Amino acid sequence: MYSLKSALDWAHPEVQTKLGWADVIVFQRNVLFEGCWNAQDYWRVLGKIILVDLDDGYSCIPASNPAFPHWILNTVQLEPTPVKALEEGLRHADALIAPNEVILKDWAHVVKGYMWRNYPSVLDYKDRVPREHVSPDIDFSYPPAIELKALAPEDLPPLLQKPRPGSEGQIVIGWGGSISHLDSFVYSGVIEGLARVLTEFPNVVFKFCGNDERLDPLWKKLPERQFVRQSGVLPRGHWPLVVSTFNIGIAPMDMRLVEGQTETNVNDYSYDERRSALKLTEYLCAGVPFVATDCQPYRELGRFGKLVQNTGDAWYEALKSRIESLGFFREEALTNRKWALKKMTIEGNADRLVRLYMRIGEETQAKAGLKLPMTAFVDPKPEDEIDEALKPEIGPASYSGDPHRVGRAAYSVKASEIAASVAKKPWLTMDGVDVGAMMSYSLVSRLNQIYREAEQKTDAPAA
């Protein structure tokens, strides 16, 4: 993995060597500058397959999203504007990859798109044990003054783990995410549903794992003592520890329709419906039962949990049923987890991703006019001479009726009889093996052939 800056510096000898090995180069998201487009073109000309990976609906990003000023208000004064620049960047790619079908539709007028899910690593999940609610919940933190962003997962410092006082016996409904989910909570009805179940079940808490302080007023609608905050979303290697403390995971989505703001005019989905299904995938891999908004990206995995319409009642009913039958849903989630750790992880899909890249490569070559080997292409020209013998007059079909009842030539039976006669002799054995039976297939075939040729010779007029 290289920074975008490396790819752009394609004339540098070290970049030449390192990226020169690649067959496929994936540019993530920010193909917004002429320098990017030049780099994309350069590597493409060398025969690399150039992909752009988008994981968000940038063209219709809402005002509540911290990236709105950049993408929509164009605060950095890009010319063309970021969305137009992204479109241009996509024109310099062989394909778009996104974890969401709607994103692919948004850009279908520019470039061919391929769906590829976001998968977690099995290494991060396989040893996690989903918390039973009788056990204490854990609060995770790092030693102060560590800049986590700069650290690779394997270099993360040891995580400090502290049991949360009084949490034994508490059922934890959890959610974790970035600061782009304000609308998901405001417009999904989940707060109303949560407030009702927390009030009804005093042993249930809601655990929020995020940094968006704009949500704080919403939490005031929940019973104060049943709201728990886990600061931040921990880096990849440690995040599964937090997910595994949830007894029920939630994934609310804002379903207000927005215009896609691209030329394909995809106007019947919300902005949130341009997100990935990573949350559900993480819940599955962690063995956590979940309730989520019924939306496009969640439809496929929804069968492993519960998808609800965005009303307070629907959230309440779904959460309540999971709380009341927690044992059953936990067992179900543990069964689903076994499947997910095989099928929904990076490791379980690596071969598929390679095949997808190969397919994109083949399609790119086909578009460029390359054709398959071991194939005869026929494109006759008017001036070509015609071999009339290859275009003989033909009469009607020789047969009619049920194919099973026609066409059995006499010599087949004769050939079988002779083969059996030769092969079934008792002296055609060796070390107890019936050599005659071994020879039957070839004998029948060759005798038939001889019969057929003899018949043709007999039928032929004398020379």
Q: Cα 433 vs. chain centroid, distance in angstroms?
A: 53
> Which residues face 53 on adjacent strands?
28, 97
Residues 105-164 that bind another protein (CB under 8 A): 114
Residues in the interface with another protein (CB under 8 A) total 81
Nearer to another protein, 129 or 430 (CB): 430
Site for another protein in 83-102 (CB under 8 A): none
Binder of another protein out of 165, 392, 461, 462 (CB under 8 A):
392
Residue 387 CB, nearest approach to another protein (Å):
5
- Residue corresponding to tokens 């991703």: 353
Q: Does position 42 bind another protein by CB under 8 A?
A: no
* Contact assessment for residue 77 and residue 89, using Cβ atoms and an 8 Å cutoff: no
List all residues 6 or more positions away from 188 whose beta carbon is below 8 Å from its beta carbon. Answer: 252, 253, 254, 255, 293, 310, 315
Tell whether residue 46 is a contact of another protein (CB under 8 A): no
DSSP codes joined into one string, 402-430: -GGGS---HHHHHHHHHHHHHHT-TT-EE
Q: Shortest approach of another protein to residue 23 CB, angstroms?
A: 16
Our CB check for another protein shows the closer of 294 and 434 to be 434
Minimum Å gap between C-beta 451 and another protein is 7
C-alpha to C-alpha distance for 368 and 127, rounded to whole angstroms: 47
Residue 303 near another protein by CB under 8 A: no
Query: What is the rounded distance in angstroms from the CA atom of residue 147 to the CA atom of residue 155?
Result: 11
Element (H, E) at 69: helix 68-71
Task: Return the structure tokens found at 321.
Answer: 């049923």
Q: Select the residue interacting with another protein from 1, 134, 150, 397 (CB under 8 A).
A: 397
Structural contact between residues 210 and 233, judged by C-beta atoms closer than 8 angstroms: yes
**Closer by beta carbon to another protein, 143 or else 373:** 373
- Cα angle, residue 391 at apex, residues 389 and 393 outer, rounded to 5°: 100
Q: What 8-state DSSP symbol labels residue 118?
A: -
Contacting another protein (CB under 8 A), which of 126, 221, 299, 352?
352
The 3-state DSSP class for residue 221 equals: coil
Closer to another protein by Cβ: residue 154 or 431? 431
Binding region for another protein (CB under 8 A) out of 82-90, 222-230, 238-246, 438-446: 438-446
Binding segment toward another protein, per CB under 8 A, in 80-88, 95-103, 174-182, 373-381: 373-381
User: Hey, which residues between 398 and 437 contact another protein (CB under 8 A)?
Assistant: 398-400, 402-404, 406-409, 411-414, 416-418, 421-422, 425, 427-428, 430-435, 437
CA angle 108–112–117, rounded 5-degree value: 95
Contact status: 380 vs another protein (CB under 8 A) = yes
Q: Interface with another protein by CB under 8 A: which range of 81-89, 140-148, 275-283, 366-374? A: 366-374
R_g (Cα) of the chain, nearest Å: 33
Instruction: Work out which of 457, 461, 462, 463 binds another protein, going by CB under 8 A.
Output: 457
